[in-house]
Each structure stands twice: as C-alpha cells, then as structure tokens.
Amino acid sequence: MRILIVDDEPAMHDSYRRSFAPVGDGINPALDAMAAELFGANVAALPADPLQSFALVHALQGMEGVAAVAAAQRDDDPIAVAFIDVRMPPGIDGRETAARIRAIDPEIHLVIVTGYSDFAPIEIARVAGPADKLFYIAKPFEVAEVQQMATALVHRWENDRELTAARLTLAEQVVQLQEQGHELAANESRAMHLASHDSLTEAPNRLAFRRALAERARSNVQFAVAMVDLDRFKLVNDTLGHLAGDELIRAMCGVLQRSVPEGGMVARLGGDEFGLLFDTPGQDAAAADCERIAKACATTFKVLGHSVHGGASIGLIATEPGETRDPVDLMRRADLALNDAKRDGRGIVRVFDDGMDETIRLAARSRPASRARSRATSSVSPISRSSGASGSRSSGSRRCCGGTPMRTARSAPMCSSRSPRNPT
C-alpha cells in the first residue's frame, strides 16, 4: 500500500522512513541489533513484517504532494493515506494541500500532523472532509502511533475499496436483473400478443374474438355479431398468387377496421373470413352499419401492381335485451346468415332468422305432430280389467266408443232386426 508524506523538513521524512522500515533492512541499526539478540542472527527466517507492504512517497511541498496524488490517480495506482504537515513555507499550507488532494481523490485518508493550532479541525474538515476520512496527530509523534494509524487506515481504505467495488457489482447486477425483467415482460407480452393476434394482419384472431364475445355476452349490453367473407378471393389467390391474396386480406382488414362502429372489434378468423363485434341499439341499426361496411369493401384495390375489385358478404345477428346469449350459438347463427348471403350473390348483408336454422325448422315441424299424438292419447279410455268377482264383466267383452258393451265372437248371436217367420 502507498503512503504519502508531505512535510517541508527532511528530518521528518527520515523519521517516517524509520517508523515504517521493516526489521533487518539496515535503516534502523538499533532495532536490527535488538531483533538479532532476541531472535538470533537469522532474522530473515522471521515471518514477514506487515509494514513491508507500505511504499512511501515523499513530497517537501504541498503542490508536490498534490502532483503525486494526481499522478497516482492517472496511473491507477492510488495512494491510501497521506500524512500532511500544516506549515510548509514558502508554498501552500497543509489546509490548502489537504483540500486540493481531496478534490483529486475522494477516497484517500488524510492525517494532519502538526504541533501548532493554526487551523481548527472544523476549518480543515470543512474543505478536506468528510470527517471520517480526516485525522490528526500532534508533533512530536510516537513511532507506534504513526504505525498504528497507518495500518488501521490502510486496512480501512482497502475495505472501503472492496465495499465500493461490491456496491458497483451489485448495482450492475441489479441493472442487469431489471433489464432481464423488462426483457421477460416484453417477451411475455409479445407471446401473449402472438397467441391472440393474426400474424398476417396483426388483427385479433379467433381465440381473442371468442374471448371478447364471451365477455360481451355476460353483460347486459345489446351488441351485434357479424361474419364477413371476401367475395372473389379464391379467384385472386388462384390467378395472382398467394402473395397477392395476402395483400388483399391486409387491405380488406384495414377497410373493416376503419368502417366498424366506434369501439367495435375486427378479428381475422381464418382464411378470408373476418368477425365483427360491436354495440348496437337494435337489429335495424346493426343491419345499416353492416350495409355501410359492405359498401366500403366494394372498392378497387391495387395489389402487387394489379387492380382488384374487392367485395364482401356479411351475415349478421343482433342480440335482444333479456335473451340468453350463448357465444358459440351466436357465431353459428351469424355463419348461417353469411351462408345465406353467399348463396344469394355478392356484397349482400343477411340478418339471421329462424328459417335459416335447420335445427329450428325441424323443431318447429315436430311440435304439431307431437301435439296431435298427445291429443290422441288423452282421448282413449283405459280398459277395465276383470277382478274375478261375481257381477264383473267377462274378459271376452269390450266397450265401443260410446261405452256400450260389445260381445265378442264367442258370445251368443245378437238379435236380428227382422222378425222370424211363424211356422204354420
């Protein structure tokens, strides 16, 4: 670790050298002799002194010390602790030196070493703080005092640097996690969009349409469901190719989105079929809106350099207040109305009625026959059964429609209407 000594007296620099000199380097012969006497001649075999890690940088004037700190920062070899004298004529004093060093290196620990009270500690702290990085030692100092101060501050400086690096790493990881979170959210949103939208037109697909229809069916709002099928689309697809067909579908989808009533939904259900879902005050208003949409679709499109006349047929069903709304049945009925419109030509709007539904027609035809069978069954009286008691009717007799007993073939012959001729 590097330590800066800023003092105008060369003798003080020698004192610092002796204070931080490791045992056995020849700088302090008295200490070397004491070590040899205590531990033997082979001092080199002793464990390494931790003070050996201190590299001293000396400056005789304040500006020289400032330049040394600036060079250390530039070379990415920062100084951990600076011991600064207060009085250093003729240059800048220790207060100004500390302020300039602090401006260059905010992390360095500064130790003001002085025997005078030229500046109050609070004055120096005001320009060279923060207070937890600014310390004081009075001259003359003890060697152990300087060593302990330097050792403690160097360790603290190392810990501060490690903590700062850990904070930077943590901050980078937090930013990275945030970016990954945003990316995951974007991917999830993109996946949900792809799952509910058509890749060709970017319009909602059949799944999204059915969900929206189910939600609307649970409400009390009147709405209309319309199925749209493009006219002559197969001809365009077969003659001009699939790319032209795709371009026509995109163009027609744009027309539908611009023409649907405000707040309405346009979904591509597949192929050249679209679904419309919009609020309406009633069937007549919904039919008028669909007529307007069909008219907007009956226009000429420029498709891959070719002029193509567009058109659409529409099947429609509008809900009524208070009725049961089954989303699947609503789509089925709108489809039946569309089939009826396609049978009658192009560019036609058909509103669903019960006559289009074979299931409803079969149910309507079966109701009269069922009622007739019910009346016939109710008009026939049940046959009495013999209990075997005297006076009960024979099992061979039955009643006619008027309730009169009728004899069976085993009974005696009935009286003739003609009188028998008298024997003479």
φ, ψ of residue 270 to 5 degrees: the values are 140, 145
Say what the pLDDT of residue 36 is.
58
- For residue 283, count CB atoms less than 10 angstroms from its CB and return exposed for 0-12, middle for 13-18, buried for 19 or more: middle
Smallest Cα–Cα separation from 61: which of 79, 87, 82?
A: 87
d(CA 296, CA 228): 13
What is the rounded (10 degree) CA torsion for 15, 20, 23, 28?
-10
Residues 150-170 pLDDT 10s: 999 999 999 999 999 999 999
Opening angle at CA 88, ends 86 and 91, nearest 5: 120
If you ran DSSP here, which 8-state letter would residue 43 be given? G
Give me 4's structure tokens: 């800066």
List helix spans (H) across 75-110: 94-104
Say what the pLDDT of residue 115 is.
79
Beta strands in 120-202 (DSSP E): 134-138
User: Distance of CA 120 to CAs 5, 91, 334, Å?
Assistant: 21, 20, 92
Opening angle at CA 279, ends 273 and 281, nearest 5: 125
| Tokens 């501050």 sit on residue | 153
d(CA 81, CA 373): 112
End-to-end CA distance of the chain: 169
In a structure prediction context, what are the per-residue pLDDT tens digits for the chain, which is 424 residues long?
Answer: 899 999 999 999 999 998 888 755 555 565 556 555 655 555 444 444 444 478 999 999 999 999 999 999 999 999 999 999 999 999 999 999 999 999 999 999 999 998 777 788 888 889 998 989 999 999 888 899 999 999 999 999 999 999 999 999 999 999 999 999 999 999 999 999 999 999 999 999 999 999 999 999 999 899 999 999 999 999 998 999 999 999 999 999 999 999 999 999 999 999 999 999 999 999 999 999 999 999 999 999 999 999 999 999 999 999 988 788 899 999 999 999 999 999 988 899 999 998 888 766 565 555 555 555 555 555 544 444 444 444 443 334 444 344 444 443 444 443 344 344 444 3
- For residue 403, count CB atoms less than 10 angstroms from its CB and return exposed for 0-12, middle for 13-18, buried for 19 or more: exposed
Opening angle at CA 193, ends 187 and 196, nearest 5: 140
Cβ neighbors of 136 (< 8 A, separation 6 or more) are 111, 112, 113, 114, 121
Say what the pLDDT of residue 140 is.
87
Question: Could you tell me the strand order of the sheet in which 265-270 lies?
Answer: 265-270, 273-279, 223-230, 312-318, 349-351
Ordered DSSP codes for 44-63: GGSPPPGGGG-EEEEESSHH
Residues 325-365 pLDDT 10s: 899 999 999 999 999 999 988 899 999 998 888 766 565 55
Say what the pLDDT of residue 349 is.
96
Task: Give, for 8, the enclosing helix (H) or strand (E).
Answer: none
Mean pLDDT taken over the chain: 83
Opening angle at CA 66, ends 62 and 67, nearest 5: 115
